[in-house]
Amino acid sequence: MIFVTSPYLPPIEKYMKYVEGIYDRNWLTNNGPLVKELTVRLEEKLGVQNLLLTSSGTMALQIAFKIKNLANKKVTTTPFTFQATYSALEWQGANVDFCDVNKSTWNLDSDLLEKQLASGHRPNCIVPVHTFGNPCNVEHLAKLQSQYGFDVIYDSAHAVTTKTDDGKSILEHGDINCFSLHATKLFHTVEGGGITFKEADELALAQKMINFGLDGEDAASPGINGKLSEFHAAMGLAILDDLSKIEEDRQQQKDLYLKLLESKVEFQQLPLDGKISPSYMPVLFNSETELLNTLSQFNDKGIYPRRYFHPAIHQMQCVKSQGKTWQLPIAEHISQRVLCLPLFFGQPKSQIEEICSFVK
């Protein structure tokens, strides 16, 4: 069987060297030396500052939303994303609204957002998503933030290695960036996530927050257990040296898909410059019927692509049950027609050719 992804595992000998150190120190969690090492090395690798590792990408979002105190605040996000983006906002008690996506980039449409703002819509915060690693229009969103004064928290779950056309990490934009280090991601710690902060004082607050709010033996404010363990950090360190190799391999696979499927399906529009994290291989069919027929044939052959992200968030039961309705035709249309094809390190060229033949 061929699944949409397959987690990368480093040589077990390399991982075990880190594990042996954990056994020697008998230090398993609570900001251990491997977590500290991974933090420093990731900052260097990605070119970022004020990075905090967490127990999951969803935990990263929850901490970010708590830092900005979004309970009962108006928040605008995209309907075309994974459920965690919305759930973390709902968990914090935010009043969530949606802005439709751009029909070409599939990201939150900053032009449409500008029209909403001009008409009187005033969110306290916006949460755009770099969908499938494709960067949002960060310059336009920064301009709108300056004009209207809202916070910007980016969900960068798929974009940990994405860079803009000036060569800078996408994680440098906005007030806070959250990303996932789940096993299905390009770079992972089995379970895990991370946050980068524009302001160092927010990093300091978050460091306490993920450790029950403790400052020494006292807690100035409530917190939660959101720490990354030493065993998870060990996996991250064992993989980090291979990250460039993983990216190169997956990018070659994407290039082959694009070549073989050119004119057969539509693709997400990407920036002309910059570097897009090769996290997914989404394709857009002409209709949902066409997608479903193709998916059925795939499954009959033991191939299991995935419909990221379907249904759109505002069409999920947990949102519809609140009695609110939104007119988001572009997100709905894209959500019905997008299929992510298998993409993972070491996938044979012949397998990609076989997959493309089914699509054709």
Catalytic residue numbers? 185
The alpha carbon of 234 is separated from its chain's Cα centroid by a whole number of angstroms, namely 21
Which SS3 state, helix, strand or coil, does residue 195 take? Answer: strand
Q: Name, in order, each residue with C-beta under 8 angstroms of 231's C-beta and a sequence gap of 6 or more.
A: 19, 22, 28, 190
DSSP state for residue 126 in the 8-state scheme: E
Which pair of structure tokens corresponds to residue 78?
């995209």
Residue closest to 192 by CA, chosen among 77, 297, 75, 58: 58
For residue 132, say if its preceding peptide bond is cis, omega within 30 degrees of 0: no
Asked if residues 337 and 287 have their Cβ atoms less than 8 Å apart, the reply is: yes
Give the integer Cα–Cα distance in Å for 42 and 238: 12
Give the integer Cα–Cα distance in Å for 327 and 225: 38
User: Which residue type, as a one-letter code, is found at position 70?
Assistant: L
Q: What is the dihedral of CA 59, 61, 62, 63, to 10 degrees?
A: 90
SS (H, E, C) 40-83: HHHHHHHCCCCEEEECCHHHHHHHHHHHCCCCCCEEEECCCCCH
- Residue 261's alpha-carbon distances to 12, 35, 356, in angstroms, are 36, 42, 7
Which pair of structure tokens corresponds to residue 246?
């993983």
